[in-house]
Amino acid sequence: MEKFGKDIFGKNLSLKAEVTNGHCPLCQAKTVLVSLYQNFYRCMSCGGDTEQKVNGVISYMPITGSGIGPIPEIKLEEPHGPNKA
* Residue 57 confidence (pLDDT): 75
Q: Count Cβ neighbours within 10 Å for each residue of 14-49 and write b for 16 or more, e otherwise.
A: eeeeeeeebebebeeeebebebeeeebbbbeeeebb
Residues 6 or more apart in contact with residue 46 via CB below 8 angstroms = 24, 26, 27, 29, 31
Domain boundaries in the chain? Answer: 18-62
Residues of the chain with pLDDT under 50: 66-70
Q: What's the pTM value of the predicted model, to 2 decimals?
A: 0.56
